[in-house]
Amino acid sequence: MKNKELARIFNRIADALEFKGDMVFRIVSYRKAARILDDLVEDIEVLNREGRVVELPGIGEGIAKKIDEYLKTGKMKKYREVTKGIPDSLLSMLDIQNLGPKTLALANKKLSVRTLTDLKKAIASGKLAKLPQMGEKKVENIKKGIELYERGHARLSIAVAEGVASEIVAYLKAKPNVLDISPAGSLRRWKETIGDVDILVTGRNGAKIIKLFTEFPKTERVLAAGETKGSIMVEGGIQVDLRIVSPKSYGAALQYFTGSKAHNVKCRNIAKLKGMKLSEYGLFKGRKTVAGKNEKDVYRALGLTYIPPELREDRGEIEAARKNKLPKLVELKQIRGDLQMHSTYSDSSATITQLADFAESLGYEYILITDHSQSAKYAHGLDLKRLYQQWKEIDRINKKSKKVFVLKGIEVDILKDGRLDYPDKILKQLDLVVASIHQGFTKNVTERICTAMDNIHVDIIGHPTGRLISSREGYVMDIHKVMERAAATGTWLELNAYWDRLDLSDVNLKVAKDMGIRISIGTDAHDTNGLLWMKFGAATARRGWLEPRDVVNTYPLKKLLISRKIHKK
């Protein structure tokens, strides 16, 4: 789909306009279009063919014409016009957090900064800090942004990696030569970012399987092709490595190539202490094969209960497996509903009916509509008149539908002083309230979030740390203090399942679990397909050692509503 491609183009246009000091309203209009397209999962090419692009909130005729031009010609006149005279090396640096177009323009003009290397030199020499309105603190933030930028561009998002791997696995599974196949490496552990995509296969005629692999329809370049190993570059410049193993070694190889390295080191040490040797070929005692065909047998022979891939990070899982005390991890199939999504009332392309129908196809019992509150002007936040209209529509839908119950919710903005964007008399009429920070988070937000949690009507804190994996570290805050207040007030913390957030992270989720905090998973969907992101939320919950009792989405509707903190006072 061209959604992301167009979003990048419109963001680049906005960057270039800001770099050149253009009118603010023009810059804002392109940023808004980029955000809408970036969140959109429905195919923009389909919408364009059907003449429905202008139906998207925030997309006017001017932007729609530019989208049509690009989809038909592969080019956009406006992009060429505004980026003319600005080197690509400068434009690419605008992806660096804390480095805005104005700062970059100043560095370019005063210090001749044209590349990332130039920028690093300007920082190291102290020259950047001496520019007007800069200073050491701002430069330090830019340095952190550079580190994040370099890390983010070295790895794939879980969504991209999982999408590519799923296609290839499905393609090869359909071939008669393939017996068993699975992703391996950090993808199988569902880490939030992935290096190369690794796939493990066992079957008949390895060379034939490798040939089929290299003939995958989206292959752009074959990097290697032997009898047991193959490597290709697929669309988007993504490298995929395939390894063929013997059926008798498949379990051991899967354990070995799943990792993590630290986890595997401990497993090999256990084997050594038992007088055995563990490798990708199997678990051996002398020349005798103890285990290898089945992964569970490998762990059993080591004296461990089976350790799910998501836990294999050397964070205490081996010690727990020795004592048979591993958690019974939550599973995707146990999720009964999605507790954050947006409709056309704010900034989504999906109506409430469409969201409910799609949720029904997923087997859900309930969904929570959490459109933006009135201060979120950029997201068409709901004033009270439109909020009441939304409530009436939800009531009509619930009278008709017997399978999915639509809960009345809101993603209410936490204002700068910790107050909420609606008065209590409005919030108390909602089934569930998600409170989030969207603006003004350059200062420490700890007390701001804690104050919001003191409100009895706030059930959930949305995306609590505010991070974006690819581009933003998150709010300045004391997450442990926030967790302490959540535990004290009975407020649930969200695991935002959008793949570029996954906020709370797996590490923070484990801490929250240990503190007795309940977790709410919401996809933050802005169209129907966004509801499918729940798989990333469920996987991250498993990485955080969460069990069904820790995740409120596993509760039946009645239990969910009586578990609100308002009923505990």
Span 207-214, mean pLDDT? 94
Give the number of other Cβ atoms within 10 Å of residue 215's Cβ.
11
The whole-number pLDDT of residue 152 equals 58
The whole-number pLDDT of residue 92 equals 79
Determine the 3-state secondary structure of 310 from DSSP. Answer: helix
The pTM of the full predicted model, rounded to 2 decimals, is 0.78
CA–CA distance, 36 with 4 (Å, rounded to integer) = 10
pLDDT reading at 37 higher than 80: yes
The listed range with the strongest mean pLDDT (57-61, 71-75, 226-230, 244-248) is 244-248
The listed range with the strongest mean pLDDT (237-251, 534-548, 554-568) is 534-548
Task: Give the model confidence (pLDDT) of 430-443 as tens digits.
Answer: 999 999 999 888 78
The whole-number pLDDT of residue 559 equals 97
pLDDT reading at 236 higher than 80: no
Span 301-315, mean pLDDT? 97
Judge whether 284 and 290 are in contact, CB under 8 Å: yes
Average pLDDT, the chain: 92
Of the candidates 185, 171, 9, the residue with the CA atom closest to the CA atom of residue 83? 9
The widest CA-to-CA distance across the chain, in whole angstroms, is 77
Cα-based distances in Å from 156 to 43, 147, 257, 391, 501:
21, 16, 18, 40, 14
- Within 8 A by CB and 6+ apart from 109, the residues are none
Span 242-267, mean pLDDT? 96
Q: What percent of the chain has pLDDT over 90?
A: 69
The whole-number pLDDT of residue 220 equals 86
Which domains does the chain carry? Answer: 3-152 (1.10.150.110), 156-244 (3.30.460.10), 256-322 (3.30.210.10), 332-567 (3.20.20.140)
pLDDT reading at 426 higher than 70: yes
Judge whether 84 and 128 are in contact, CB under 8 Å: no
Task: Give the model confidence (pLDDT) of 375-406 as tens digits.
Answer: 888 788 999 999 999 999 999 999 987 789 99
Determine the 3-state secondary structure of 52 from DSSP. Answer: coil
Residue 308: band (very low, low, confident or very high) from pLDDT cuts 50, 70, 90: very high
Span 132-137, mean pLDDT? 86
- Within 8 A by CB and 6+ apart from 120, the residues are 146
Task: Give the model confidence (pLDDT) of 60-102 as tens digits.
Answer: 889 999 999 999 888 899 998 988 888 777 877 877 878 888 8
- Expressed in percent and rounded to 5, the helix, strand and coil fractions of the chain are 50, 15, 35
pLDDT reading at 461 higher than 80: yes
The whole-number pLDDT of residue 25 equals 85
Q: What is the DSSP secondary structure assignment for residue 114, as one 8-state letter?
A: -
Q: What percent of the chain has pLDDT over 70?
A: 99
